[in-house]
Amino acid sequence: MLKSIDHIGIAVRNLDESLDTFQKLLQFEDVHRESIAEQKVDIASFKIGEVKIELTCPTSDDSPIAKFIAKRGEGIHHIAFASDGIETDLKRIKSEDIRLINETPLRGAHDMLIAFIHPKSLSGVLAEVCQRK
Ligand code: ZN
């Protein structure tokens, strides 16, 4: 089942500059940084309440995030819902005729299993289903 919002992904051009601004705004202490080679991005994430914000910066022009920024500029990229059983959730979502981008989970940040739902199926919102391993 999908029970909560795990994180909100934000596409940024400059990770350090954006992180600095969010830090001034929200005054968090802990930041998790990670490079995800498969997706050609660097991320910095922090918590506000129970929800994480994940700043995502492309490391290459052919990164999906670079393409997103080129087309739409910086901004909210996706909303991620926490799943307690991703395989079951993906089957159920597919059976509801909601279009999945990934029918089998990929590895995401924080070593989570992730899969994306197509924005055309969800009022223009790119959504992610994620599960901690
Ligand atoms: Zn995400």
What dotted CATH number matches 2-132?
Answer: 3.10.180.10
Q: How far is the CA of 33 from the centre of ligand 1 (A)?
A: 14
Instruction: Tell me, in angstroms, the distance from the centre of ligand 1 to residue 83's CA.
Output: 13
- Residue 110 clears pLDDT 90, i.e. is over it: no
Q: How far is the CA of 8 from the centre of ligand 1 (A)?
A: 7
pLDDT of residue 133: 80
In this prediction, residue 108 carries a pLDDT of: 85
- The answer to whether 78 and 127 are in contact (CB under 8 A) is yes
**What is the pLDDT, as a whole number, of residue 34?**
95
Taking residues 28-54, what's their average pLDDT?
A: 95
- Neighbouring-strand partners of residue 129: 81, 115
DSSP structure class, residue 63 = S
- Distance from the alpha carbon of residue 95 to the mean position of ligand 1, in angstroms: 23
* pLDDT at residue number 107: 87
Q: Is the pTM of this model over 0.85?
A: yes
Provide the pLDDT for residue 98. Answer: 97
If you average pLDDT over residues 2-12, what whole number do you get? 97
Question: Any idea where the domains of the chain sit in the sequence?
Answer: 2-132
